[in-house]
Structure 1
């Protein structure tokens, strides 16, 4: 049983623009966005291994970056969608391993958030990092009119890591593959996969950090 950080770095960064995916862009200190995510997990005493999921076209670039981080034991090729990349990571993880699945595009992940995730997983099979919503959120009708305004105190902004025992994710993918009742377009992250396929699994909310934001556009850097 290991704590394995799964770093999802296979995205194409279509919204970011440019010729290089955002996870390989340099930050002010000369390190890439991917470096920053790897560095924090590599230093954490509770992480046993790191698995990096990358795009085939950037395999060599990813390998070069990962040489600096001793806990990186696996580099696998991701798929077209996020959940395809999560599925790819399962090929090198065990049923009883705890997987902390993290977006490479969140380079400001902190040691404390990782610790909270590991602690939460000692109490159950699933946990997701989030921060309480500070804005009022509108649910739209036909994208034109306000249909509903949910109570803000019930809403959270999802972050990563999203954490599961390997066997939970494998079971969720088995159900997804065999069922026509699950709407694939509703699966936008690992928590939504488990919620839709295994609704009986309780996913504990782990307190995230506002600094743990996702790099989406150039000015986010």
Structure 2
């Protein structure tokens, strides 16, 4: 079977911490919307075959006309509506894929994805079936209690800040998400913040950490846009 790689680019969030009516992924960096940079990285990657763009339901037409068609993204073959939470959006993206070997799940508000990162992720997912991009933390990390007092200081050499893309064998991540959604419908109460957590909670598969880049930031606050201008 020929290897097929599909990217899911998430663009459904509204970015409340940006304090702006425009969703953060559509704000401009150097005359291009934030989402353009993520899509361009996958568009230029020779081993990515297709891109599924997950947007807010009310933004589908905008994404098609003002992002995909305007900038000529040929690999975006489907735009689907996201959901209430991030994991709902990923679930919808996974179900929009008909046939796939590996899936690359990436936040559209993380514009500085490089070809080197994608190559490292590809090598890792081929060997380990599940991997996430990230970087070792630079600062000492404290674990606090509910009152805000420090209760634990983990070994900094073992702590990573997780980024995207997060890359998985498609059958693995598809089943993990299907099982998660069924469990949630049956009353499971849990906080899910990334795709690796879904695999860790719903399967016995270990997730390999792969070096990303400190520049692979997520646009979350107005200060991030200032930093982003310097990376372009």
Q: TM-score, normalised by structure 1?
A: 0.94
Match of 2:210 in 1: 206
Cα separation, 2, equivalents of 1:165 and 1:181: 27
Give 1:197 deviation, angstroms: 1.3
Cα separation, 1, equivalents of 2:98 and 2:152: 42
Match of 1:184 in 2: 190
Cα separation, 1, equivalents of 2:196 and 2:187: 18
* Residue aligned with 2:138, SS: coil
Match of 2:110 in 1: 106
Report the number of matched residues: 218
Aligned residues: CA RMSD: 1.5
Preserved contact between residue 182 and residue 197 of structure 1 (Cα < 8 Å): no
Preserved contact between residue 142 and residue 151 of structure 2 (Cα < 8 Å): yes
Structure 2, unpaired ranges of 5+: 226-232
What pairs up with 1:76-155 in 2 under 5 angstroms? 76-94=80-98, 96-155=100-159
For residues 60 and 32 of structure 1, do their structure 2 counterparts lie closer, same or farther at Cα, with a shift above 3 Å needed?
A: same
Preserved contact between residue 180 and residue 202 of structure 2 (Cα < 8 Å): yes
Runs of at least 4 residues of structure 1 off by over 6 A? none
* Residue aligned with 1:6, SS: strand
Match of 2:6 in 1: 4
Structure 1, unpaired ranges of 5+: none
Give 1:96 deviation, angstroms: 4.3
For residues 140 and 117 of structure 1, do their structure 2 counterparts lie closer, same or farther at Cα, with a shift above 3 Å needed?
A: same
Cα separation, 2, equivalents of 1:173 and 1:182: 13
Of the structure 1 ranges 55-64 and 93-102, higher mean CA displacement relative to structure 2 is found in 93-102
Match of 1:220 among 212, 221, 224: 224
Cα separation, 1, equivalents of 2:187 and 2:200: 13
For residues 181 and 137 of structure 1, do their structure 2 counterparts lie closer, same or farther at Cα, with a shift above 3 Å needed?
A: farther
Cα separation, 1, equivalents of 2:197 and 2:74: 32
For residues 96 and 71 of structure 1, do their structure 2 counterparts lie closer, same or farther at Cα, with a shift above 3 Å needed?
A: closer
Q: TM-score, normalised by structure 2?
A: 0.89
Give 1:94 deviation, angstroms: 4.1
